[in-house]
A and B are shown apart, each in its own frame.
Chain A
Amino acid sequence: DAGVTQSPTHLIKTRGQHVTLRCSPISGHKSVSWYQQVLGQGPQFIFQYYEKEERGRGNFPDRFSARQFPNYSSELNVNALLLGDSALYLCASSFQVFTEAFFGQGTRLTVV
């Protein structure tokens, strides 16, 4: 029984570059949320998608965008990377919009 899977697990990018992170939810789950976790802090909400529509957006700049595909997988895109974007990016899947959320192992992004 596969859990939430994210790729890649680690990534190093240069300031100003663009990055795409991917997430596959638990089979049968239709909602995907993205969180940013800076070292030593709790995760911060970025986006939630349900049935391919954006259902929530956190306090992040427009450089952050996401989408959900017909198979419920999702991508998080970040443009014009800044050093401060270095963090663990977590994807969480849930069956519906407001049911229990289960996290993937995350993508560790380092911006140099």
Chain B
Amino acid sequence: GENVEQHPSTLSVQEGDSAVIKCTYSDSASNYFPWYKQELGKRPQLIIDIRSNVGEKKDQRIAVTLNKTAKHFSLHITETQPEDSAVYFCAASFGAAGNKLTFGGGTRVLVKP
């Protein structure tokens, strides 16, 4: 089955700096890669996603890149703000197999003011 590895497990950045989280996946058939943000005690919130026919997607301060050959994808947050502090999860799924998302272990991001 699919396996998703996520690094780093914790990330501390200064406000205004950039943060990068990297994930690798094992199943070359995976074609959908969402990112979720989970604040303490709250639900995971979809913040951006990318499908395998696209190499990069951007939404304001957030961008995701996908390298299908290397089977890795990354989340980039620019101009970080204290409200970006949360746990971020990457996930992968194979569309034809439904919405069975396989999640990475999570990255705890702390933005220091």
Residues of chain A with a CB closer than 8 A to B104's CB: 42
B46 touches A105 (CB 8 A): no
How many chain B residues sit at the interface, stated as a range, is 20 to 34
The 4 closest A-B pairs by CB, nearest first: A42-B103, A98-B95, A56-B98, A103-B43
Q: Choose among B1, B34, B106 the residue that contacts A101 (Cβ–Cβ < 8 A).
A: B34
- Count A/B pairs, Cβ under 8 Å: 69
Per-residue interface assignment for chain B, residues 10 to 34, with 1 indicating a CB less than 8 Å from any chain A CB and 0 otherwise: 0000000000000000000000101
Q: How many residues of A contact B (CB 8 A)?
A: 29
Q: Which residues of B are interface residues toward A (Cβ below 8 A)?
A: 1, 4, 6, 32, 34, 36, 42-46, 49, 89, 91, 93, 95-106
Residues of chain A with a CB closer than 8 A to B102's CB: 45
Q: Which residues of A are interface residues toward B (Cβ below 8 A)?
A: 4, 31, 33, 35, 40-45, 48, 50, 55-56, 58-59, 90, 92, 94, 97-106
